[in-house]
Structure 1
C-alpha cells in the first residue's frame, strides 16, 4: 500500500507546521507523540519523513524513514519505520534502512504498525524485544547506544545493503520510489 494524500492538512506534532494529511501521517503523528510524551525523547531531536536516497544500477530512488532520532551533533541515533502489515515482514527492510541512513548506521531500529513493534539490533539484525513495550525509554536507549559498537559500512557492504534494501523497497515504496520490472518472456505453447 502506498502513502496517498487525503486532501487535507493537519498540524505536525514535532514542528507545529501544517502538513499534508496522508494515509500514514496520523500514524506518524501518534508515534512521535508516544516517543516524546511517554518515552521521554527530546522533541527537537526527532525528525519525521527523512528521505533515504540511494542508487541502483544508475537509477536513483528514495524511501522515507518515518522518524529519525538525532544526537546533539546531528548524527542519527535511532530510526522508526511504520509498516502497514505484519511487523515481522518489515524487519529486514528496517535493518537495511538503519544501516544506510545518511550519517549512520544507527545501533537500533524499531518497526511498528502502532499495535505491534519489534526493536532490532542493527549490527546483528536480531530482534531484541517485541510488542509495544519494546519501544525503549529515551534514557535506556541512550545507554544502549553508548554501549553499542557501530562502525561505518565499507563501500562493498553499502552496495550489498542497498541491493537488499531495494529488493524489499520494491514491495512497499511510496510515491518517490518506483521500481519497474522487465516484461516476462512469453510462455512457449504446450506440445
Structure 2
C-alpha cells in the first residue's frame, strides 16, 4: 500500500517542524516518541527522514529512511517503518545499511508498529523478534560497541545497491519527493 498525503499538517516530534500528514506519519511520530520517552534515546541522536543517495550507474534515486540513529556521531541503527509483514522488508533495509557512506550501519530495526525485528547487518542475523526488541538507548550502545566493523567488496556493494533500488522503488509511495510542507501551495501539491 502506498502512502497517501492528506491536506493536514502534523508537527514533527523530533524537530518541531510542520510536516504534511500522510497515511503513516502519525505512526512514525509515535515511534519517535517511543524511542525518546520509553527507550531513553537522546533527540539529537535520531535523524528523521534521512536521505540516502543511491549512486547506482546512471540512476538518480534517493532512499528515504525513516530514522537514522547515531552514537558518537557514527551511524548505529536504521529504523524503518513498514506497512506490512516485517520479514518482507528486512532485506531492503539491510541492503541500504550495507551501502551507507563511510561503511555499513551495524543494525537495522524494522517494525510495522506491532511486530519488530532487530537485525545485525554484517550477516543479516535476526538478533531479536517482537515489539519488545526495540533496544533501549543503553542496550543499543552496548551492542554497538560489541559489533565489529565490517566491509563489503565493491562488487557486493553494487549488488546491494541494486537490491535496495529495486525494493525501495517498489515500496516507495511518494516520498522520493520532499515530504515537508512548503510555503508555496503549488510546490506542496506537486
Deviation of 1:143 (Å): 0.6
Maintained 8 Å contact 2:64/2:176: no
Report the Cα distance in structure 2 between the residues aligned to 1:19 and 1:104, rounded to whole angstroms.
30
Maintained 8 Å contact 2:39/2:136: yes
Structure 2 residue ranges without an equivalent (≥5): 178-190
Deviates more, 1:164-173 or 1:82-91: 164-173
Report the Cα distance in structure 2 between the residues aligned to 1:71 and 1:127, rounded to whole angstroms.
21
TM-score (normalised: structure 1):
0.86
Maintained 8 Å contact 1:63/1:174: no
Report the Cα distance in structure 2 between the residues aligned to 1:131 and 1:17, rounded to whole angstroms.
31
Does the residue aligned with 1:149 lie in a helix, a strand or coil?
A: coil
Deviates more, 1:82-91 or 1:154-163: 154-163
Does the residue aligned with 1:162 lie in a helix, a strand or coil?
A: helix
Deviations 1:52-92 (A, max 9, x none): 211333111112110111123x3211110110111111111
Report the Cα distance in structure 1 between the residues aligned to 2:175 and 2:77, rounded to whole angstroms.
23
Equivalent residue, structure 2, for 1:54 = 54
Maintained 8 Å contact 1:120/1:128: yes
Deviations 1:126-174 (A, max 9, x none): 1111111110111111110001012343322221110111222232023
Report the Cα distance in structure 2 between the residues aligned to 1:157 and 1:167, rounded to whole angstroms.
15
Equivalent residue, structure 1, for 2:117 = 118
Structure 1 residue ranges without an equivalent (≥5): 179-191
Report the Cα distance in structure 1 between the residues aligned to 2:173 and 2:41, rounded to whole angstroms.
27
Equivalent residue, structure 2, for 1:128 = 127
Deviation of 1:116 (Å): 0.6
Aligned residues, how many?
Answer: 177
Equivalent residue, structure 2, for 1:98 = 97
Report the Cα distance in structure 1 between the residues aligned to 2:121 and 2:40, rounded to whole angstroms.
22
Report the Cα distance in structure 2 between the residues aligned to 1:17 and 1:174, rounded to whole angstroms.
22
Question: Which fold has the larger relative contact order, with Cα–Cα distance below 8 Å and residues 6 or more apart in sequence?
Answer: 2
Does the residue aligned with 2:47 lie in a helix, a strand or coil?
A: strand
CA RMSD of aligned residues (A): 1.7
TM-score (normalised: structure 2):
0.86
Deviation of 1:177 (Å): 4.8
